[in-house]
């Protein structure tokens, strides 16, 4: 099982033994990915499941919203009453509580394992500017390479900032440009000059290099880590 539905807790049969089997099957598939140093999207999924379950355990009223709407054939006006009746059922709530008490530490253990792998890989990665720094860091290029390969993946990036009433959320949009082969003649500085000549809409872009001393899966691990490292670097520079 590669994925676990967001509403897995309240979907279908609400039975502790069945839900435990469902969760353990999912976590087993996640650990297989972790054993291959493949972190994403599995690590982020674990974070979402863990946080959601902790919230539900702390505030049982939220369980009402987690029930899938197709479970009831009542019209929309009666849906809330239907779910309230389910929540008021002591037997159902006892099963849900048993499931959550089992699931939270299981998810936390897998989450800690994934986080440990992330920290280990990130500790072997470095980020540095290529050439002179730009005054505008919100848009530019990202080079990603890993030892001992001489190829570097080149991406164009744009930092996006969303603000809500509670926090400022930073995101990173990336678009693959090309792969370049590093050599004595083709340095990263030379690649930067080529990009300046090709994409004239960015006359003075920020260019960052993320290099890994480890060989890890690119799309599942190195690319997401490089993105997070760049977001952190740009946030600190803001």
The model's pLDDT over 45-55, given as tens digits with 9 standing for 90+, comes to 999 999 988 98
- The answer to whether residues 108 and 162 belong to one domain is no
pLDDT beyond 60 at 148: yes
- The answer to whether residues 217 and 190 belong to one domain is yes
- The answer to whether residues 209 and 224 belong to one domain is yes
Alpha helices per DSSP H over the chain: 16-35, 42-58, 63-66, 76-87, 90-123, 188-198, 223-237
Domain that includes residue 203, residue range: 125-237
**Domain end marker among 85, 104, 123:** 123
What distances in angstroms separate CA 21 from CA 27, 33, 70, 110, one per listed residue?
Answer: 10, 19, 24, 16
The model's pLDDT over 82-106, given as tens digits with 9 standing for 90+, comes to 556 666 667 888 888 899 999 999 9
Looking at the DSSP assignment, which residues form a beta bridge with residue 190? none
Among the listed ranges 16-25, 91-100, 137-146, which one has the minimum average pLDDT value?
Answer: 91-100
13 versus 34: the higher-pLDDT residue is 34
Supply the pTM of this predicted model: 0.83
Query: Which pair of tokens denotes residue 6?
Result: 């967001």
**Domain end marker among 97, 123, 149:** 123
For residues 8-22, give the mean pLDDT. 89
């Amino acid at each position: 099982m590669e994925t676990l539905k967001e509403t897995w807790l309240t979907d279908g049969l609400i039975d502790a033994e069945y839900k435990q089997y469902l969760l353990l099957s999912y976590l087993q598939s996640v650990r297989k990915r972790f054993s291959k140093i493949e972190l994403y999207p599995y690590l982020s999924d674990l974070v979402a499941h863990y946080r959601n379950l902790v919230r539900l355990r702390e505030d049982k009223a939220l369980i009402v919203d987690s029930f899938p709407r197709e479970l009831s054939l009542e019209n929309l006006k009666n849906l809330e009453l239907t779910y309230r009746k389910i929540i008021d059922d002591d037997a159902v709530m006892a099963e849900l509580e048993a499931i959550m008490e089992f699931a939270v530490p299981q998810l936390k253990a897998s989450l800690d394992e994934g986080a440990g792998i992330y920290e280990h890989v990130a500790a072997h990665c470095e980020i540095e500017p290529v050439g002179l720094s730009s005054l505008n860091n919100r848009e530019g290029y990202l080079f990603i390479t890993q030892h001992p390969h001489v190829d570097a993946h080149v991406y164009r990036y744009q930092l996006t900032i969303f603000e809500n009433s509670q926090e400022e959320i930073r995101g990173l949009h990336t678009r693959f440009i090309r792969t370049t082969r590093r050599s004595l003649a083709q340095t990263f500085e030379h690649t930067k000059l080529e990009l300046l000549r090709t994409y004239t809409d960015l006359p003075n872009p920020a260019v960052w290099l993320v290099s890994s001393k480890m060989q890890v899966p690119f799309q599942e691990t190195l690319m997401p880590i490089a993105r997070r490292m760049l977001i952190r670097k740009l946030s600190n520079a803001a």
